[in-house]
Amino acid sequence: MSAGGLLVAVLAFTSCGGSGDREALEKMILASMAETGPESCLKFNTLRLLETTTDREGKAAVSACEEDARDPSLEQPTDVDVSRVETEGDSGSAVLAFRGSILDGQRVQYAFVEREDRWKFDETVGFVDLDATHLVMQMGREGMLHAETPQDAENVACWIGRMERMSDKALEDLLFGDGAESSNCTAESSAI
């Protein structure tokens, strides 16, 4: 699984109240926490987001998301605080602060779109106040838990070492699909 793929697996959220479009957006965020199975991939996310986070296109991106959603060993957030919710027409944004999962302690801004009277996650805008050390530690722990072979474990360690040396911007680009980071690691591990 790619680093971005892990992020798709943690798109489970909780919410607080609001009104109008804001309330509908927040209800969708709450529903995405309750419904985390394979059918949730396109129900709560646009194809654009799935393609970005899985590093695949079209049906392959959807299949990768569905496969991740079936993995019972992926740690889901235990709680998420939603703030800075804004809507304008069929676009919206919110900042989500995570507890639990690889995003524990992180605040991430997302963009949303409304299609056919349904809000969906459309883009991961980026981290707000990134705690890179904590994030890399969480990713290393999760990666090692999913390593199936000694080569997977070595590859996870290699990637974690590279991520520890990255700038916050390079780390964010790698995780959210905009980075073209090359590596001396053996191959992209199924564990990260």
Q: Where are the domains of the chain?
A: 3-128, 132-175
Per-residue pLDDT of the chain (192 residues; tens, 9 = 90+): 444 444 444 443 333 333 578 889 988 987 887 788 899 999 999 999 999 888 899 999 999 999 989 988 778 787 888 889 999 999 999 999 988 888 889 999 999 999 989 999 999 999 999 999 999 999 999 889 889 999 999 999 999 999 999 999 999 888 886 555 555 676 544 444
- CB atoms under 10 Å from CB of 9, counted, come to 23
Containing H/E element for 111? Answer: strand 107-115
Q: What is the pTM of this model?
A: 0.78
Topology adopted by domain 3-128: Nuclear Transport Factor 2; Chain: A, (3.10.450)
pLDDT at 185 (0 to 100): 76
Candidates 110, 85, 78; CA nearest to 176 is 110
Helix 47-54 × helix 58-69 angle, to 10°: 80
pLDDT of residue 9: 44
Give the model's pLDDT for residue 184: 62
179, burial (CB in 10 Å: exposed 0-12, middle 13-18, buried 19+)? middle
